Structure 1
Amino acid sequence: MEIVVSRAAPVRLQAPDAFDRFSVAVGSGGAPGLQKALDGIARIDGGTHAWVFPQAVRRLAGRKSDEAWNARFDAMLAFAADRGWLASDGAIRAHIDVREE
């Protein structure tokens, strides 16, 4: 599962069924305005990680009424909590991967 930030398109969730990985993918040209692009989706932590709001992931996935998907996402959140990858406000820690556009 990746949150993709690009100059060419709106922020989107790619591979929403890949619950075994989680990152923010940023095009090389998108890095300077990253926090603005992720407004309401995540907050940047030191440039190498982001804290992503679970409600934003659910919104980007477009699976509000998909009980199976939501159960798997909740399991992913529980796994992240066990590893210390959840903030006190519930945000999920994600690596920021900068890629060539």
Structure 2
Amino acid sequence: MYLEISRADARLAEPEVFTAFHVVRPAGLTPDEFTEALAAHGIGEPDGDDVLVRVAAVRALAAGRVGPDWEDGFAGMLAYAGRKGWLSADGSAVRAHVEGSAGS
């Protein structure tokens, strides 16, 4: 699964894929604009080369688009992230690497 961030919105793509997680920074957004877009959409905040993505934001973007078993898969992904040290201490955010979209 991954998040596509733009000035206008944030979209969760491939929500059923629990084996990969990243955020796509679109071409044309400066680092400051990307940070502003993350905040404006309630997604999270940059942390070095990664983004700390709010778990609640992922759930909100998935709502109404996923089946009843999705939460179990997402919980498993978060448990794995916790074992790897990619989950915040309070469990409210998960670390995602940032990939550029074509042209960025």
Q: TM-score range by the shorter chain?
A: 0.7 to 0.9
Q: Give the structure 2 partner of residue 87 of structure 1.
A: 88
Query: Which shows bigger deviation, 63-72 or 49-58?
Result: 63-72
Structure 1 residues 25 and 38 mapped into 2: Cα distance closer, same or farther (>3 Å)? same
Identity among equivalent pairs (%): 39
Q: Give the structure 2 partner of residue 55 of structure 1.
A: 56
Query: Which blocks of at least 5 consecutive residues in structure 1 are unaligned?
Result: none
Aligned-pair CA distance for 1:65: 8.4
Q: Give the structure 1 partner of residue 25 of structure 2.
A: 26
The alignment's TM-score, normalised by the length of structure 2, stands at 0.84
Superposed CA RMSD: 1.9
Q: Give the structure 2 partner of residue 73 of structure 1.
A: 74
2:62 partner letter: A
CA contact (8 A) 1:64 1:70 kept: no
Deviations 1:20-43 (A, max 9, x none): 000000112124311111112111
- Quote the Cα distance in structure 1 between the aligned partners of 2:6 and 2:56: 21
Query: Which shows bigger deviation, 64-73 or 88-97?
Result: 64-73
